[in-house]
Chains A and B, each alone.
Chain A
Amino acid sequence: MTVRSAPRAPRATGRRRMAVLHIALVLFALTQLFPLVWVVLYSLQRSGDLFGNDLLKLPADPQWHNYARAWTDGQIVRYGLNSLIVVTASTVVSTVLAFCMGYALARMRWRLKRFAVAAVVLGMVVPVHATLLPNFIWYGIFGLIDTRLGLVIPYVAFTLSFNTLVYASHFESLPDALEEAALIDGASWPRILWTIIAPLATPATVTVAVMTFLSGWNEFIMANTYLASDELRTLPFSVIRFEGQYSSDYAVQFACMVIVAVPALALYLFFSKHIMAGATAGSVKG
């Protein structure tokens, strides 16, 4: 380590380096957003404009009817409603079950807890894709293939472990004596959970609910495997629909991608604080 004699010099080079780093920051932000900007711009033009030589072109004559066609041909209403039903149901169930498990794991003492923890961790490690084939057979036995329930169950299963850990780490941070007074007064467990614990768990609940909703809203491969009929398909299939059918109508496809992306983006912008908190819940604590 060299000790610098002139303290001003390094500060100046430091500042210049910071300027370079700032440019890098902006360049990377552009890399992350550029393809999206491209898609939005060309979603408002004629499909033929895409084959011109311009890199980016502001739509001089916005073709709003691209969006109208994407809306109807992409079955946005039907698929969107399907998504809303399946994802809302799985979010509610996953959140409630994770709340219960997180509480029992973090704040109650019992034997066999080790095994329960192992089951929860298993849920984090097993890849969804390794369960697609066996579950296709297994769900079939119960008539769950091509039903909404047959999608809700795996959506709950594959979000439950993460959600349980988020709740558990939140509950561990609450003071120990919290429930004691109520227990001594003879309050029942459901009452304690509902009136004392649930209000204190609100930040974790928002994080868990938003993350679960978003992951279900964006999910594709389970829906692609377990659903067969068009009536039940979820929103990502709006984008897939265009692949064969209208494969040359790029502007309409772009419009469809924008329509499907907007709800997730809105949810993200509105809840970004909670999403970021949830995303890092597991990592920073270690």
Chain B
Amino acid sequence: MRGDPSRSRITIAWLMLPGLAVLVFSLAVPLGFSVYYSFTDWAGFGDYQRVGLDNYRAILTDDPVFWRAVRNVVVLIAMTIFVQNPVAFALAAVLSRLSARTSRLLRTAYFVPAVLSLVIVAKLWVDVFNPTFGILNKLLRAVGLDALAVSWLSNPHTSLAAVIWIILWQGFGWALLFYYAALMTVPRDLEEAARVDGASWSQTYRHVVIPHLAPVIATVIIIDVISAMKQMELIYLSTAGGPGQLTQFLGVYLYQKAFVSGEYGYGSALSVVFVVVAGGLTLAVQRGLRALAR
């Protein structure tokens, strides 16, 4: 249907090759580099030894910081799916029945944090959480909760929660936007039919709207998992993984290993594990959700 094939072949090459070249140059080759150096003890300069699987063995069996980072990612994923998403869904549901103008105004406001540079978002919250002049502690003191006015980002009991809050705050607009767009695709008569049959709001949502949106919700959860895995800048710029590695995440950890402690070999192995875990988790979640939907 699309023209004569021999002429098309050259066209396809012209259309595809430049883009593919960029992807190979900046994604595929570096992954190959990571795999190669992950079998060495290179320090970033000078000679290096091939050490076989030692780096991987060390990561999996002898690196509590790595496992702390994995744990933190799991906590972040759970908080995203079970706290941020339901709130975003509920607000999107209300927004979807407001007048177009009001809903647009509010959606614009909700999405503002999502378009700010992560540098600004991180700095903003470092200041809000600041123990002496931060607005959060002033607020707490103003309502008499002086005991809660702690140094949020450096206190070991609160640092992870504070970092996760920053991430959820920044990502909230995205979640809301996804669910709002999804809710707008639900046919009005479907909902109205359920209402006419006497179903309450919660029943309508539970039995009609949510099942209708199951594929979208599954996609959003996949996006949540991928983006939780990829979190790095907000942590790096707020706690840098501290205090005492408590808020460590994979992206931050491998960055510090490579560029701060100069362990290129070990950092490369962490990069490979990161890609494998991110890819594997994405596939697993995709499969699992597809099986659930059946």
Is A135 on the interface with B (CB-CB < 8 A)? yes
CB of A39 within 8 A of CB of B271, answer: no
With A129-B255, A134-B37, A221-B232 as contacts: A39 and B124 at CB distance below 8 Å = yes
- Chain B contacts for A3, CB-based, 8 A: 198
Question: How many cross-chain pairs have Cβ atoms below 8 Å apart between A and B?
Answer: 284
With A214-B115, A261-B116 as contacts: A157 and B278 at CB distance below 8 Å = no
Query: Which of A123, A129, A217 has the most chain B CB within a 10 Å cutoff?
Result: A129
CB of A51 within 8 A of CB of B133, answer: yes
- Size of A's binding interface in residues, CB under 8 A: 101
Is A84 on the interface with B (CB-CB < 8 A)? no
Closest to B173 in A: A32
A157 to B24 CA separation, bound complex (whole angstroms)? 9
CB of B177 within 8 A of CB of A276, answer: yes
Q: How far is the CB of A203 from chain B (nearest CB, A)?
A: 15
Is B181 on the interface with A (CB-CB < 8 A)? yes
- Chain B contacts for A179, CB-based, 8 A: 2-3
- Chain B contacts for A120, CB-based, 8 A: 23
A232 to B95 CA separation, bound complex (whole angstroms)? 43
CB of B109 within 8 A of CB of A33, answer: yes
A268 to B127 CA separation, bound complex (whole angstroms)? 24
- Chain A contacts for B185, CB-based, 8 A: 284
CB of B219 within 8 A of CB of A126, answer: no
Q: How far is the CB of B255 from chain A (nearest CB, A)?
A: 6
A189 to B8 CA separation, bound complex (whole angstroms)? 8
Residues of chain A from 19 to 60 with CB closer than 8 A to chain B in the complex:
21-22, 24-25, 28-29, 31-36, 38-39, 50-51, 53, 55-56
CB of A218 within 8 A of CB of B116, answer: yes
A1 to B198 CA separation, bound complex (whole angstroms)? 8
Residues of chain A from 102 to 123 with CB closer than 8 A to chain B in the complex:
103-104, 107-110, 116, 119-120, 122-123
- Chain B contacts for A31, CB-based, 8 A: 169
**Majority-rule SS of B interface residues:** helix
Q: How far is the CB of A1 from chain B (nearest CB, A)?
A: 6
Is B247 on the interface with A (CB-CB < 8 A)? no
CB of A24 within 8 A of CB of B91, answer: yes
With A116-B16, A125-B226, A129-B232 as contacts: A134 and B128 at CB distance below 8 Å = no
With A132-B258, A260-B117, A284-B216 as contacts: A153 and B25 at CB distance below 8 Å = yes
The 20 listed contacts between A and B (C-beta, < 8 Å) are A1-B198, A21-B90, A24-B91, A25-B95, A31-B169, A32-B110, A110-B8, A119-B20, A123-B27, A129-B230, A133-B259, A157-B26, A160-B23, A179-B3, A183-B3, A218-B118, A235-B117, A267-B115, A268-B111, A276-B177
Which 8 residue pairs across A and B have the least CB separation, nearest first? A157-B26, A134-B30, A129-B251, A218-B117, A134-B33, A100-B15, A104-B15, A280-B181
Interface residues of A (CB under 8 A from B): 1-4, 10, 14, 17-18, 21-22, 24-25, 28-29, 31-36, 38-39, 50-51, 53, 55-56, 97-98, 100-101, 103-104, 107-110, 116, 119-120, 122-138, 153-154, 156-158, 160-161, 164, 176, 179-180, 183, 189, 214, 217-221, 225, 235-236, 239-240, 250, 253-254, 257, 260-261, 264-265, 267-269, 272, 275-276, 279-280, 282-284, 286
